[in-house]
Structure 1
Amino acid sequence: MPPALPPEDRGLSPYTGWTRAHWAALADRMLAAVAPYRSPGGALIALPGPASSSGVRSDGLEGFARTFQLAGFRVAGEGGADPAGLLETYARGLAAGTDPHSPEAWPRPDKLGQAKVEAASVALVLQLTRPWLWDELDDAVRERVLDWLGSVVGQDYPPINWVWFRIVVESFLREAGGDFSVADIEEDLAVHASLRRPGGWLSDGQERAYDHYTGWALHLYPLLWTRLFDVTGTLCPHALRQQWEDDLAAYLDDAVRLVGADGSPLLQGRSLTYRFAAAAPLWVGAVSGAGGQAPGLLRRAASGILRHFTDRGALEPDGLLTLGWHGEWPGLRQSYSGPGSPYWAAKGMLGLMLPAGHPVWTAEEEPLPVETGDVSRVVAAPGWLVSARRRDGIALVVNHGTDHAGPGDVCADSPLYARLGYSTATVPPLTGPTTADPVDNSVAVLDDAGRATHRSGFTTLYVEELPGGAVAGCSRGTVHWVDTAGDDTPDHGSGRRGPAVPGPLVTVASVLRDGVEVRLVRLDPPPGRPGAPSPSWRAVRLGGWPLASAAVPGSGSGRGRAACAEAATAELRSRVGNLLGFTESGVSAESGTGPLARWTAVPWLATSGPAPLGRLLAAVVTLDRGTPAAPDPVLSVRDTPDGGHDVTVTWPDGHRTAVTVPCPG
C-alpha cells in the first residue's frame, strides 16, 4: 500500500484540502516508485512500456532527466535538506551517463534530437541545486557534464518551444565555465519573440498551434531563466523581462478560466500525457510574482489540477505515471512518447521549489472563476469562445482559430486541434474511424461513400464579445476530403496528409451564451468554381460533444423539423437540436477510441440531401450535467443585400444577440 497522504486541511485549503505537505508527500511517493527501474549506475530510469521513436536508451535518459526535475524542486524548496539522499543518487547517474565509456552512457544532444530536450532538464536542475550538487561533484564529472551539455552549441533546433532548451543549457554552460554561444541565445530569443501573439499567448511554431505548450514551456522557461541565471543586461534587458511578465499575467487571466471546477485542464492539444504539467504556468506566476493572480487562487488551481489526476488513479497502483490521461491509455501517445515521457508532469510540481513560508503556500485558497460565477470571454489568439457555468463547473471553448495548420493548408483535421469545441469534461475520439471521418464537434460534408470532409486551413473571420454575456465567432474555408492511408510520418499532433479533393466553401458561425451554442452553417461553391462542388456530395452532418461512458450511453433522436439527438450518462448530457434545415439525426458510438472511458458517443444532425448553396443551416449544441433543459433559442434570419445573413438569436430569458454570417466576398 502506498503511504497515506497527510489529513486534509479545509481551513487553509477549503476547496481542495491540500497543502504543501500533500504536494511533498506525493513527490516523495513518485520518486520512490521509480527507484526499482533505475540502472545500476543510476544514469537510466527504464520504466515499463513501449519504446519511443528515439529508442530505449533515449527513453532511459528521459526517465532520469524528468524525474531529476522533481527531485530538484523537492530539495531546493527545503533549502538543500535532502534526507532521502536524492541528489546523491542523481549525482551517481550524472557521472555514469556522461561517461562515454560507461555501459549507461547517454546519447549526446548533437547525435539525437530528444537528448536536446532532456539536456535542458539536467541543466535547469543543476543550476537550481547548484550549492548542493554541482559544487560538490568531482572535477572530472563536472568536465564530462560540461562536455555533454556543450554539444548543443551551434546545433539546429526546431523553431518551436525547443529553442528554450538550448537557451537554458547554454546559460548554464556560461555560468559553469563551459563553451557557449551568445549568438545561439540571441537567435533563440528572436524565435521566441516571433511566437508571441495577442493577449499573452504564444503559438508553438508559426502554424496555429495553440495548446498547453504555451504554458508549460513557452511561459515556464523565460521567467525561470531570468531568476535562476545571471542574464540581466545585454541578454535580457529590463524591458524584455517586463514584457514577459505582462504576457504571463494576461495568459494566466485566461488560464484560470480554462480549469474546470473538478480540476480538469482543457483536453486539447498534443502531449496530454504530461497531465498536471498544465499547472506549471500557475507556479511560474508564484515564483516570479508576475502573474497578477492572488497566491491563494494559484494554489487552488494547481492543487485542483493535481488532485484531479491523483483522485482518478493516475498514480495507481504503484505510484508510476503511465502513458495516458487518468489511467493508462496508450492511444494518447505521440511517436516521441516513451515510458519516461509522462514525467514532464513534474513541471506541474514546480511550486515545491518555493519554501513552506512562501505566500503561495500560506495564503488561504481562493475559488476558481467558475466557482464564483459564470464565465464568458473571447481569447483572440487561438480564436476561442470561452464559456463556463458555475452550476456544472465545466469549462469549454468553441474553436474558430486553432487547427495546427495555416490558412489555406490542406490536411486532415487533427482531433486535438481542429474540432469546433473542447472542454474539461470531454475529449474527441483519438483512434478509430472518426479520426478520418470527423463526427464530434464538426460540420462535415459527406460524399456519396459517406466520407466526411476536413476543415483545417480555414480562415478566421471574427471572434468577438457581445452584450449580455454572449460571444460569437466565425470561420470559413474550402473543406476537403483527404486520403491519409499512405501517410506514415511520425505523429507530432498535426493532421495527416494525403491526396485531397476540394469540396464546397463552408462558413461556420457560433453564438455562445451560458454554455449553449447556436451553430450556423452556410455552403457556397469553392473559389473559382461557380458550379456545384465536385465530387458529388449527399448531405451535411453536424456533430455535437463527445460523451464518454463505461457502458453505451443512453441516446434518443428525432426526425423532420423536430430533429434532435442526445447522448446521456448519469453525469453528462450532450445534445444537438435542429433550428434550421436539418431533418435527420442519430448517435454515433465507438468503443476503445478515447482515454476517459470505454465508450464514446456523439449525437449528430444531418440534412436529407445536399443543402442548397447560399442558404443557412442552424442547430443548437449543448453539453451539461443533465440539469433540466431550457427551451431552445429562437432564430430570426434576414438576408442582407450583399447575399449574407443577419441573424438574431432570442434566448430563453428573452435576451437577444445579433450576428452576421457574411457572404463570401
Structure 2
Amino acid sequence: MVLGKAYTLSLVTAFDPARLTLPPEDRALSPHTGWTRAHWAAVADHLLLSLRPFFTSTRSQVRLPGPVSSSGADSDGLEGFARSFLLFAFRLAGERGADPHGFLDGYRDGLVAGTDPRNPERWVLPAEQAQAEVEAASIALGLQLTRPWLWDSLDDEARQRVVDWLALNPVGWYPDNNWLWFRITVETFLASVGGPHDPARIAADLARIEDYYQGDGWWADGALRNYDYYCGWAMHLYPLLWAGSEGSTAFGSASLAPVFRARLADFLDDFTALIGADGMPVLQGRSLIYRFATAAPLWMGALSGASRQSPGLLRRAASGELRAFLERGAVDARGLLTMGLYGEWPAMAQTYSGAGSPYWASKGFLGLLLPADHPVWTAVEEPLPIEQGDVRRVIRPAGWLVSGTAADGIVRVINHGSDHALEGDRTGDSALYGRFGYSSVTLPPLTGDAIDDPADSMVGAVDAAGRSTHRTGFARGAIGDDGGAAYAVSVADAHWVDSSVDGPAYDHGAGRTGRVTDGPLLATASVVRGSWEVRATRRLPRVGTVADPLPVRVSGWPLTDDAEAVTETGHGMVAIQADGLRSELRALPGIGGGEIAASVRTETGVSPIGRITAIPRLEFAEVAEGDVVVAAVRLGRGAEEAPSSRVVVTRDDVAILQVTWPDGALSTVRIG
C-alpha cells in the first residue's frame, strides 16, 4: 500500500501493542510526524528486547528465523549480534551509561564468549568467512562508543581475546568499495587500545576511498557507477564517526574532518529532496532491506554540525522515514525486522543477506547518541523540501534529475548516470540501478521475466520473442537545468542478455551476465518538469553498417497494488491507475517509427510493495536509423495536461528536441 501525506495506518498493524508502548504524540514539537526522542527510544528498546529469545546460550550469536545467507548460519548469527550491538551502543552512549533494560550485561557476555576460541558458538574468523570483516567494524564502532561502560569493564584476558579476534580482520582481502571503511574503523580502534595495526594500510585505504568521491557531496560505492544509499549510510557515516574517534588523529583526522563535514553538508542538500511527503525515500539501489538506515546521514548532519539544514528539518526527515517504514510493516508481531521492504518479502534480499542483515537499520538510530536537550530533539519540526513546494534538482555526479511535486508529495528520479557498472559493460540491467525512473512510491519488478526483459521505465529495441534490450554500460551525455526544466542525455549500446546460460548468479546488486546479442545504438534525452518527463530516443547509425528497422518499446512507471490497475487507452496513449496513483504514456510527434501500439504489462508476485504490478507501454513498430520516437511519461495523482514537443534535425544531422510546457515555457535539448 502507498500512503499519501496523511499517516492513515495505526502502529498496531506493525507491532504487537502488548509488547510496545509508545508515548503520546507531540504535535506542538513535531507537527509533521508527532514523534519525539522518546518515540525513537521506545522503538529502539522494543527492537533490542525482541531479540532476547534469539540469543544463543553463550549470548555470542543472535540466530533469527528466516533464510540463511550465502555466508552460512554462523556468519548470520554473528551478523545478528554485531548489528544489534551497534543499536545497543547508540542507546547506551546516548543515555550516558544508563541501562534500565540490562542490555549491557548480555552484550558483554556475548562479546567475551564470541571471541573465545574454545567456545563452540565462537564468532567465525575472517579466513573462514569474509563477512566477519563487515561485522568486525560494528563491533569496533560499538566498543568505541561505549568504551567507559563496556571496554573499560573487561578484564585483561577478555580484552586480549577481543583484540586478537579484531586483529585477524584487516589482513584479508577487501572489496574495492565501502568495505575499506570497515578496515579503517577496526584498525583505528585497535590502535587506540594498543593493538596491532598497520598505519601504511590505513593511509592507503584513505587514499583509495578518496578516489570514489565524485563531487557535490556524492560518493560512488567503489569504482563502478554505484550511486545509492551507501553514499549516506556508509560513505558519510563512517568518515565522521572515525574522525571523532580516539586514536584517529594519528592518521590525519584533524585535517580530514572539515573536508568530510563540508561534503556531508552538500550531500544533505540533495538528500532531503529525495524524501517523499509521506516519509518514504526514493526506492533505488541495493540493500533496501536496511530500510530506515537511510536516516543515518540526517543524524550525522546534526551530530557533526555539518548540515546547512535546520535541526527541525533533519528530525522531521528522519522521523518521517522511521514512521513510514514501521507503518508499512517493517517490524513484525514478534518485534523483528524482517527480510523485505515493507513487510516480509525474502526475494528482496541479495544473496549475501541473512536474517540478521536487516539490523543494519540500526544505523538509522544514530540520533540517539545525541542527548534529549540537543537542538535536533528540541527544535520544532520543519517541513521537508517537498512540503515547501515543488522540487527540481540536478545531481550531476549520479546523473540524476530530481523532480518532486508538492501537490501529491511524490519525489521522482530520472536516471542517466547510475547502472552499477562501467561505461561499455555488456551485462544485464539491474532493476534497482538501470531504469530511467525511480520514485518514492514505486518499485521496479524485482523477480521473474523482468530480469532478462526490462519492463518498466525503459526504452529498448524488441526482439522476435518480445524481449527488450538492456542499457547497462551506456555513455553519459549532457545534464543540467535551463531554468524551466531539467534535462539529461545518455547513449546506450543496447543489447539483449540471456542470463539463463550462466545459471544462478551471486547477487550483489549488479545486473546479471549471460549470452549477449547486439542491438541498436539508442540515444535518449529526458526533459523533466513537475510530474512529466518528455523522453526522446534516436536510433543512431553504426559506422560501416546498414541496419533494418526494428520495433522500439517505451515503458512507463510501474504501479503496484493488491488489486488490478484500471486501464485507459487511446490513440498513441495508455494510462493506468492504482491505489490513487496514475502512470501514463503519451506518444508525441517524432521522426518515423511506424505504427504505435499501446499495451499494459501485468506481473504478479514480483514486488515487495504489493501483489500486482502494472506497467504502461508504447511500441513503435518500425524504427530505422535516424528515427526519433518521443513520449510524454508521467507519474502522479489525478490527470494533468501534457506537454507538447517537436523534433528538429539540423543540416549536420543533429536532432534537437523542443518541449513546450502547458504554460508556454520552452525547453530545448540535443538528443545524443
Q: Specify the TM-score bucket, using the shorter chain as the normaliser.
A: over 0.9
- State whether structure 2 residue 586 is matched by structure 1 residue 573: no
Give the distance between the partners of 2:444 and 2:525, measured in 1 at CA. 21
Which of the numbers 459, 478, 492 marks the counterpart of 1:477?
Answer: 492
Give the match's secondary structure for 2:216: helix
The counterpart of 1:359, out of the listed 375, 387, 395, is 375
Q: Match for residue 545 of structure 1? A: 557
Mark the runs of 5 or more structure 1 residues left unpaired by the alignment.
none
**For residues 271-325 of structure 1, what are the alpha-carbon distances to aligned partners after superposition, in whole Å with 9 as ceiling and x for unaligned?**
0000000001111111101122211111000000000011111112121001100
SS in 2 for 1:457: coil
**Matched residue of 1:583: which SS?**
strand
Segments of 5+ residues of structure 2 without an aligned counterpart are 1-17
User: What is the CA distance between 1:230 and its match in structure 2?
Assistant: 2.9
RMSD between superposed Cα atoms in Å: 1.2
**Aligned equivalents of 1:647, 1:3: Cα separation in 2:** 56
Matched letter for residue 474 of structure 1: V
Instruction: State the alpha-carbon separation in 1 of the partners of residues 128 and 451 from structure 2.
Output: 34
Q: CA deviation at 1:530?
A: 2.2
Match of 1:262 in 2: 278
Paired position in structure 1 for 2:153: 136
Q: Secondary structure at the match of 2:489?
A: strand
Residues 37 and 233 from structure 1, CA distance in 2 versus in 1: closer, same or farther, beyond 3 angstroms?
Answer: closer
Equivalent AA in structure 2 for residue 567 of structure 1: I
Counterpart secondary structure, 1:587: strand
1:601 pairs, out of 600, 609, 614, with 614
1:587 aligns with 600
Provide the secondary structure at the position in 1 that maps to 2:25. coil
SS for the counterpart of 2:213 is: coil
In structure 1, the residue matched to 2:444 is: 428
Residue aligned with 1:486, SS: helix
- Taking the aligned partners of 1:407 and 1:635, their CA distance within structure 2 comes to 30
Q: Secondary structure at the match of 2:493?
A: strand
Shift of 1:567: 1.3
Q: Which residue of 1 aligns with 2:28?
A: 11
Separation in structure 2 between the aligned mates of residue 370 and residue 563 of structure 1, nearest angstrom: 32
Deviation of 1:233 after TM superposition, in Å, equals 5.3
Aligned partner of 1:405 in structure 2 is 421
TM-score by length of 2: 0.95
Which of 65, 68, 80 is 1:63 aligned to?
Answer: 80
Would you identify which runs of 4 or more consecutive aligned residues in structure 1 move more than 3 Å? none
Closer, same or farther: CA 325–646 of 1 in aligned 2, 3 Å: same
The alpha-carbon deviation at position 641 of structure 1 amounts to: 1.6
Map 1:618-633 → 2, pairs under 5 A:
618-626=630-638, 628-630=639-641, 632-633=642-643
Alpha-carbon distance in 1 for matches of 2:651, 2:637: 42
Per the alignment, in what secondary structure is the counterpart of residue 179 of structure 1?
Answer: coil
Residue 50 to residue 234, structure 1, CA distance change in 2 (3 Å): closer
In structure 1, what is the equivalent of residue 463 of structure 2? 447
TM-score by length of 1: 0.96
1:436 deviates by: 1.0
SS of the residue 1:401 aligns to: coil
Aligned residues: 650
Measure, in 2, the Cα distance between the counterparts of 1:208 and 1:41: 43
TM-superposed deviation, 1:242:
1.7
Per the TM alignment, residue 237 of structure 1 is displaced from its structure 2 partner at its CA by: 4.1
CA distance in 2, matches of 1:489, 1:563: 39
CA offsets per residue over residues 118-163 of structure 1, 9 Å max, x none? Answer: 0000000101000000000121111100000011233221110000
- 8 Å Cα contact 1:68/1:125 also seen in 2: yes
Cα gap change, 1:200/1:267 in structure 2, threshold over 3 Å: closer, same or farther?
Answer: same
C-alpha separation in 1, matches of 2:651 and 2:347: 50
Offset, 1:529: 4.1
1:514 paired with 2:525, answer no
Deviation of residue 553 (structure 1)?
Answer: 1.0
Residue matched to 1:554: 566
SS at match of 2:608: coil
8 Å Cα contact 2:395-2:401 kept in structure 1 = yes
Q: Residue 564 of structure 2: SS of its match in structure 1?
A: coil
Higher RCO, 1 or 2 (CA under 8 Å, sep at least 6)?
A: 2
Residue 546 of structure 2: aligned partner = 531
Amino acid of the residue matched to residue 665 of structure 2? H
Query: What letter corresponds to residue 401 of structure 2 in structure 1?
Result: L
Question: Paired residue for 2:398?
Answer: 382
The 2-side partners of 1:39 and 1:243 are apart by: 43
SS at match of 1:593: strand
Amino acid of the structure 2 residue aligned with 1:592: G
Partner of 1:463: 479
Q: Percent identity?
A: 51
Paired residue type of 1:649:
V
Q: How does 1:243-392 map to 2 (within 5 A)?
A: 243-392=259-408
Of 40, 50, 63, 1:46 maps to: 63
How far apart in 1 are the matches of 2:75 and 2:523?
A: 45
- In structure 2, what is the Cα distance between the partners aligned to 1:485 and 1:60? 33
- Residue 219 of structure 2 aligns to a residue whose secondary structure is coil
